[in-house]
Structure 1
Amino acid sequence: MHPEAVPSLRLRYRWGARVPEQRRILLVDDDATFSQVLARGFARHGFECRCCTSAEEALENCAGFAPTHILLDLNMPGQSGLAAVPSLRRLAPDAALVILTGYSSIATAVDAIKLGATQYLCKPATVAEILLAFGGKRPGNEVPVQPHSLERLEWEHMQRVLNENRGNISATARALGMHRRTLQRKLQKRPVRR
């Protein structure tokens, strides 16, 4: 059909103009409601969206969907988002991959980037911030850089030692010189922002 015959096409594209490439985003988060909200936001920006609630489901969908962008939650039941990064990279090597988490730490951010993530963001993040991260840019720094609080530094240190001990709580508690239950209680709390 000729573009002049359809008014909506005539407004968007001139005859012979290059049609923009379809952008596809794979949203991987165990919170289905959050994923649906993000999917609506990305759809408004011209993305075709597919939502997955686990890393395993994302790996099944990745090859057939061929995403140009992947947004991956870090903490999910089953395989963690961090563990899925190498497999997703093999299935979609050219896709921009951003990790989004509510439990951020410097250690996991470094690991994510080493494994191939484009960027690492903390929840809550807006669609605009995520789009900037996909472009390899950092969201605007409206807040001046401030040193982290003592509580935040303690939480990050515990995360780093836990990572060094491959998730073994008892070994981490011994290394930190604290009771195992105290460590578990502190790790279950969300980290303070600053």
Structure 2
Amino acid sequence: MTMAKPLLLIVEDDAAFARTLQRSFERRNYEVIHASGPGELPDLLSVRTPDYAVVDLKLAQSSGLTCVEALHAHDPQTVIIVLTGYASIATAVQAIKLGATSYLAKPANSDDIERAFGMTLGDADVPISARSTSIKTIEWERINEMLAETGFNVSETARRLGMHRRTLARKLEKRPIV
């Protein structure tokens, strides 16, 4: 009798990165399915329930947080990892509140992701950094928090932050959300 392969769902709009992850996990004996955004989840979840999910935080014009919420609502036992190019405290907190197990900053490789699959409980011994947070980091976290609140609507985010839309657009060009 052979064991069934664990089912991994990758929610990623970058097709090349998704293919790379898929091949890597297939070599690790996972069955992998792919969705490029939240619109594809209902059909996939109507026929399959993943054991694991890797969700990119920024999906084209939508937030991966909606995918985390949908996956957790579908099956709270699914181990969900959020992957992002520009991590922030605000989005990390929201991801965990919505049902993610872990939150990883890119670049993360298959080893990092698989290790996160096994770490479903918190680690009270994680080292606490004594480094103070810079003003730029605080600003970036606030921008990320507001972008997440507005569903990544740049105009609304700029309005709520009290800054001109072009100023926010320039900041996002320098440090895009991936």
Check whether TM > 0.5. Answer: yes
Quote the residue 2:66 is aligned against.
83
Moved more, 30-39 or 85-94: 85-94
Within 5 Å, which residues of 2 pair with 1:1-194? 19-77=2-60, 79-136=62-119, 146-163=131-148, 169=154, 172-173=157-158, 176-190=161-175
Displacement, 1:99? 0.8
Moved more, 26-35 or 55-64: 55-64
Quickly say closer, same or farther: Cα 1:90–1:186, change in 2 above 3 A.
same
TM-score by length of 1: 0.74
Displacement, 1:20? 3.9
Displacement, 1:27? 0.7
Quickly say closer, same or farther: Cα 1:175–1:24, change in 2 above 3 A.
closer
Quote the residue 1:9 is aligned against.
none
Contact 1:26 1:62 in 2 (8 A): no
Moved more, 156-165 or 57-66: 156-165
Displacement, 1:167? 5.3
Taking the aligned partners of 1:165 and 1:80, their CA distance within structure 2 comes to: 10
TM-score by length of 2: 0.80
> Which has the higher Rg, Structure 1 or Structure 2?
1
Query: Which fold has the larger relative contact order, with Cα–Cα distance below 8 Å and residues 6 or more apart in sequence?
Result: 2
Instruction: Report how many aligned residue pairs link the two structures.
Output: 172
Q: Which runs of 5+ in 1 are unaligned?
A: 1-17
Indicate the SS of the match to 2:76.
coil
Indicate the SS of the match to 2:59.
coil
Sequence identity (%): 42
Contact 1:99 1:120 in 2 (8 A): yes
Taking the aligned partners of 1:93 and 1:101, their CA distance within structure 2 comes to: 22
Q: Can you list the C-alpha shifts for 1:60-106, whole angstroms capped at 9, x where unaligned?
A: 21232221001111111354211122221122321101111113211
RMSD over aligned Cα atoms: 2.9
Displacement, 1:160? 2.6
Q: Can you list the C-alpha shifts for 1:152-191, whole angstroms capped at 9, x where unaligned?
A: 2221122234455665655644554433311222134326
Contact 1:97 1:117 in 2 (8 A): yes
Q: Which runs of 5+ in 2 are unaligned?
A: none
Q: Can you list the C-alpha shifts for 1:30-70, whole angstroms capped at 9, x where unaligned?
A: 01111111111111221111122122213321232221001
Q: Can you list the C-alpha shifts for 1:125-146, whole angstroms capped at 9, x where unaligned?
A: 10010011112268xx8xx774
Displacement, 1:23? 0.7
Contact 2:63 2:151 in 1 (8 A): no
